[in-house]
């Protein structure tokens, strides 16, 4: 029973850490990153459609994203969606391809983005701790069915899991901060 609870907790903590990593990928750095555009939806014939389904996204240069629509008639709609997304980027359209140049970040903007990613990391750490709290209460609910020693060992393993995933989030945060501070 304890092993089942630990396996479930590990899976949920892994999902929380992965979510933090995906959130970090959406934060703009000085480099072009196609994942920035993964949340963008385009109004395609009245239906909100993810950008990846309408165009291929490539990185021909470190500071340039190129969006090439599969259907040339959607270029205008995609450009409007990119402008509405408020990414702080200015798409330019030559009729067949949309280019998005990434200007270098100012020092002030870098510090703002570091605050944003630290907040995201804290939300991830809180999510991991919430998983720990719920799993611990589930273990304590088994009090009459299994021995106190087994419960205590399970709680120690749960704490080790929690520490590992909090450390993983810290590592992701450190990498993202380094990436943001890179000029």
Which CATH number covers residue 167?
A: 1.10.132.20
Model confidence pLDDT, tens digit, residues 130-170: 999 999 999 888 888 888 888 899 999 999 999 999 999 99
- Domain of 53, CATH number, reads 3.30.1360.40
Please give the residue range of the domain that contains residue 16.
2-26+106-181
Give whole-number Cα distances, 170 to 25, 100, 113, in Å.
15, 31, 16
Quick: pLDDT tens for 60-110: 888 888 989 998 888 888 888 888 877 777 888 888 899 988 877 788 888
Q: Is 173 exposed, middle or buried (0-12, 13-18, 19+ CB in 10 A)?
A: buried
Specify whether the CB–CB gap between 178 and 27 falls below 8 A: no
Same domain, 110 and 177: yes
Among 64, 83, 101, the domain-final residue is 101
The reply to whether 87 and 48 lie within a common domain is yes
Residue 49 and residue 66 share a domain: yes
Number of domains in the chain: 2
Alpha helices in the chain (DSSP H): 2-25, 51-54, 75-84, 107-141, 148-181
Residue 38 sits in the same domain as residue 59: yes
pLDDT in tens, 164-180: 999 999 999 999 898 88
């Amino acid at each position: 029973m304890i092993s089942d609870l630990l396996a479930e907790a590990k899976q949920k903590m892994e999902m929380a850490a992965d979510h933090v990593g995906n959130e970090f990928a959406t934060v703009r750095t000085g480099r072009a990153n196609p994942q920035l555009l993964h949340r963008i939806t385009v109004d395609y014939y009245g239906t909100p459609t993810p950008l990846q389904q309408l165009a291929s996204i490539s990185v021909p240069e470190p500071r340039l994203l190129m969006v090439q629509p599969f259907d040339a008639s959607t270029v205008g709609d995609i450009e409007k969606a990119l402008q509405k997304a408020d990414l702080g980027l200015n798409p330019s359209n030559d009729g067949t391809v949309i280019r998005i140049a990434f200007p270098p970040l100012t020092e002030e903007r870098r510090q703002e983005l570091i605050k944003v990613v630290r907040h995201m990391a804290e939300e991830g750490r809180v999510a991991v701790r919430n998983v720990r709290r719920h799993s611990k209460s589930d273990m304590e609910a088994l009090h009459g069915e299994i021995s106190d020693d087994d419960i205590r060992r399970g709680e120690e393993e749960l704490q080790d899991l929690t520490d590992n995933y909090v450390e993983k989030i810290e590592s992701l945060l450190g990498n993202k901060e380094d990436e943001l501070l890179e000029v």
